[in-house]
A and B are shown apart, each in its own frame.
Chain A
Amino acid sequence: MLPWLFLGFAALLVATAVMVVVHRNPVTSALFLVLSFCSLAGIYLLLQAEFLGMVQVIVYAGAIMVLFLFVIMYLNLQHDVETGAQIAVRRGIGWMVGALLLLFGFLLANRGWAPGPVAAQLPAQDGGNAAAIGRVLYSRFLFPFEITSILLLVAMVGAIVLAKGRPASESEGA
């Protein structure tokens, strides 16, 4: 049962990711990206990372993609014009590099990878995966966690300053 679910989610994920890359219309690309993030959340659930699955849906499929869609609508883009010999050559090179990289990845995949389980089972899961993650996050990783808040604050201020644009009086040399 579990492997079949995994294969289903994986097929959906790969199909939607390919559609993100090949579709002409950016809005459709963004909507396919939402679908691929949701199927990735399903895979996280299968890998016993329930908290991350939920965060994936809320943060990626919710917040980040809404931001993308807002910007696409704000910029009012026309469809990509993808004709001409130069673009065709570049597209061919792009697909070739991707295929080579995939081949390289599968060559590497046959090595011995993980050193094996460090514990017999996942650490104390009473109260669920979210509680376990919270316990680790607020003890061993407390300092990085607090640094993250500063990062988010800086990003917020930076985004507002960048997107605000110059006030009219400043450009007149006032």
Chain B
Amino acid sequence: MIPLGWTLALSAILFCIGVVGVLVRRNALVIFMSIELMLNAANLAFVAFARNMNSLDGQIFVFFVMTVAAAEVAVGLAIIVNVFRLRETVFVDEINLLKG
């Protein structure tokens, strides 16, 4: 059996890569992909704990997270398409309508 610490460490690394992606990139689509990476890191932690505790509840929760992620991606990409139509760009530092 795989130790719990290994999977948790992998989950932490994956989450941090996602955070770096959100902070470093300017392309809204790539930022969105990094958010997906972070969601998957959380899912991995859920599955690891479910395995460790011999319970199915964690896996059920991951199922729901995946559903919400699918809904989020559909709406988020529609918003990005709309922003692109309005501003002709998807770079987040050029979308500064609310900048004071």
The reply to whether B37 and A17 form a contact with Cβ atoms under 8 Å apart is yes
Decide yes or no whether A43 CB sits under 8 A from chain B.
yes
The reply to whether A47 and B16 form a contact with Cβ atoms under 8 Å apart is no
Question: What is the bound-complex CA distance between A21 and B47, given in angstroms?
Answer: 24
Question: What is the bound-complex CA distance between A137 and B15, given in angstroms?
Answer: 28
Give, as a whole number of angstroms, the nearest-CB distance from B79 to chain A: 6
- A-B pairs with beta carbons under 8 A, tally: 224
Residue of B40, B67, B78 near A40 (CB, 8 A) is B40
Question: What is the bound-complex CA distance between A93 and B19, given in angstroms?
Answer: 12
Give, as a whole number of angstroms, the nearest-CB distance from A26 to chain B: 5
The reply to whether A114 and B53 form a contact with Cβ atoms under 8 Å apart is yes
Decide yes or no whether B10 CB sits under 8 A from chain A.
yes
The reply to whether A26 and B23 form a contact with Cβ atoms under 8 Å apart is no
Question: What is the bound-complex CA distance between A20 and B5, given in angstroms?
Answer: 25
| Per-position 1/0 for B36-54, Cβ under 8 A of A | 1100100110011111111
Residues of chain A lying within 8 A (CB to CB) of residue B47: 44, 47, 49, 52
Which residues of B from 17 to 41 have beta carbons under 8 Å from A?
A: 17-21, 23-27, 29-30, 32-34, 36-37, 40
Residues of chain A lying within 8 A (CB to CB) of residue B53: 114-119
| Contact A120/B54 with A64-B36, A162-B75 known, Cβ cut-off 8 Å | yes
Residues of chain B lying within 8 A (CB to CB) of residue A94: 20, 23-24
Nearest residue in B to A27 (C-beta to C-beta)? B29
Question: What is the bound-complex CA distance between A55 and B43, given in angstroms?
Answer: 12
Question: What is the bound-complex CA distance between A102 and B72, given in angstroms?
Answer: 26
Decide yes or no whether B95 CB sits under 8 A from chain A.
no
Question: What is the bound-complex CA distance between A163 and B81, given in angstroms?
Answer: 7
The reply to whether B16 and A101 form a contact with Cβ atoms under 8 Å apart is yes
Which residues of B from 74 to 93 have beta carbons under 8 Å from A?
A: 74-75, 77-82, 84-85, 90-91
| Per-position 1/0 for A1-28, Cβ under 8 A of B | 0110010001001100110110000100
| Per-position 1/0 for B55-72, Cβ under 8 A of A | 111011011101111111
Among all A-B residue pairs, the 3 with the closest Cβ atoms: A94-B23, A155-B71, A98-B20
